Amino acid sequence: MSYVKNSTGGKILAVTQAIIDRALSNSVSSGGTWNPIIPNVGTAGQYFGLTVSPIRSDSKILFQGFVMAQCSDAGQVMMILRKDGSDITEALGTNVSSRRPCHSGGITSAGAGCIALPINYLMPLSSATPFEFHIELAHESGSTRTMYINRSASDSDNNKFGRYVSIFTATEFLS
């Protein structure tokens, strides 16, 4: 467990933001996970998140935002924060035993709705090497389910249904 006490703030070095409006879906097995890829972007295989190019190796990055997700009849949707394809263990739950370590989650049961899974994590850096900050999703169902990002399962073309965005913001600063 870590705490920031008596922080006096610092100088902002850079702010990077990704607003992802693409609707995605994927079939995820019971106990499985989904590492979504942003379709139709310049970089082939870019994870669902953002690329961060730190200015200094002794800075910190505050990640904020949310991912709009849905998985009908699965109950809980769980989100894991990742860096370059690996879990950021400091941003996930601990003492999990057989449970899945997650950053945030929520219940989705209605086919026409989405939930916002929040992102809030302060990462100290040890290198100025660019990296990808992204997510992984899972559900609690004992069966294979289709998971959705930025859209609902009931996605008919009328104004009763929404299309959404997911937002990732990285603020690099010196403390």
According to DSSP, the residues that pair with 173 across neighbouring strands are 12, 60
Averaged pLDDT score across all residues of the chain: 88
What pLDDT, on a 0 to 100 scale, did the predictor assign at position 43? 57
pLDDT band (50, 70, 90) for residue 42: low
Angle (CA) 67 172 137, round 5°:
20
What pLDDT, on a 0 to 100 scale, did the predictor assign at position 10? 75
Structure tokens at 42: 């310049």
Where do we find the tokens 């073309």? 157
Gyration radius from the chain CA atoms? 17
Cβ neighbours of residue 76 closer than 8 Å, sequence gap 6 or more: 105, 106, 107, 139, 140
What pLDDT, on a 0 to 100 scale, did the predictor assign at position 9? 64
What pLDDT, on a 0 to 100 scale, did the predictor assign at position 83? 96
DSSP state of 34: B
Please determine, for residue 41, whether its predicted confidence score (pLDDT) is greater than 70: no
Residues 108-162 pLDDT 10s:
876 677 899 999 999 999 999 999 999 999 998 888 999 999 998 887 788 878 8
